[in-house]
Chains A and B, each alone.
Chain A
Amino acid sequence: MSDLLKTPLFDAHVALGGKIVPFAGYELPVQYKNGALKEYTAVREGAAGIFDITHMGQVRVEGVEALIFLQYVSTNDVAKLVDGQVQYSALLNEQGTFIDDITTYKINDKAYYLCINAVNRHKDVAHLQAEAVNFDVSITDESDETTLLALQGAKAQATLQALTEINLESIGYYKFARGKIGLAENISGGIISRTGYTGEDGFEIYIPNAMAVEVWDALLEQGAVPIGLAVRDMLRTEMGYALYGHEISDKVTPVEAKLMWITKLDKGDFIGRNAVKARKTEGAKKRLIALKLTERGIPREHYKVFVDGIESGEVTSGMHSPMAGGVALAYVLPEHATEGNVSIEIRGKQVPAERTSLPFVRSNVQK
């Protein structure tokens, strides 16, 4: 017997020819019948791709001390958020390494909503509940009741506008609105944020499970193209976005992971702050860099990276980008972050690479 979970859209994925794989405890489509490259093209070249990312977790944080609680458990400055704004942030442990990376949605001063990684859900919720004992705050795991869709690509706004009374034009980058989504008479409310993991304009849509099939079907009817996990990973890697278990984990701090921009050391005390401060002073143990092969080949996760012939680190995410070729995110020794000739070992051969800036392909996000 499989212990894997199904999202409310499982049958819809199968009907669309989805190739189902186990992922983060769920059975999810890695690709649909037309193949990954066509899906990639749809998102990058003008259509709207729709992704079932229901596996991700949602946690509601409510109470009079919601703000000071989140200031203490997360790295970014939650006080900077206005109502209806989203912020990328992280949960660290006392060692300053990652428990998870998250997005924080501010509903109001006493109510926030966190979107967390599927693989970390139970760990995150247990951690938040343990820390919440010292605050006047309640933690509610709404993951099992919530369907999360991402709609990404140039046509995302036009595609979604047909389904909601929310004026999408008024939702800025990393902002959100709450309101009715769907076509039926008895539709209930949801959250639409202008966020994503692709480098394209688009939205993430939080709805109750009961609405999942209706909204999914309506978006397909509007011309949205279903996109599987393989292309989701390609799109995020091309942007250089970190993924838990790859670029970030409980082995690295924000200093190594290039995530000091979401780690506000001067906002006041928070879990992991002292450890991150110390790491910043003593210097990173390794550094995350972006690499592009200068000869044919595809870098893959865990391939070794050499600098001037010395083994320096390994690839954390690698792929063949249809637009940029063989690209990789990799950790290397700090002294190799900017100096020395880089190569990636592929099946015993050293394939030369060069350091490059991120994103690997142009982002179309309107900030």
Chain B
Amino acid sequence: MTQVQMLITIAMCVIGTMLTRFLPFMVFPSGKPVPKYVQYLGKALPGAALGLLVIYCFKGVDILSGSHGLPELISLAVITALHLWRRNMLLSVGAGTAAYMMLVNFVFK
């Protein structure tokens, strides 16, 4: 590929990404009322989108081979328990990541 072709390819990635980010705001610009159904989606979608992101993070886990997803499962339990107990984001994320790193480096080698 020539340099111009590479820059065009990158430009297509930018245009596509910005389309997915800007489209809802172009359809419903500031000052224009948002239909009731879309308002409902705006309230109902965050929980669903966050659920999708959580599954997305675990999509590479293979429960049939290797460590069978045990390091992920144990770390998930650590994060959930710690977060319900202390409600401290940095503590939960830090301890969960540390637990996972210990497990994949020393236990499930």
* Same complex: no
Interface on B for A, CB 8 Å cutoff? none
Interface on A for B, CB 8 Å cutoff? none
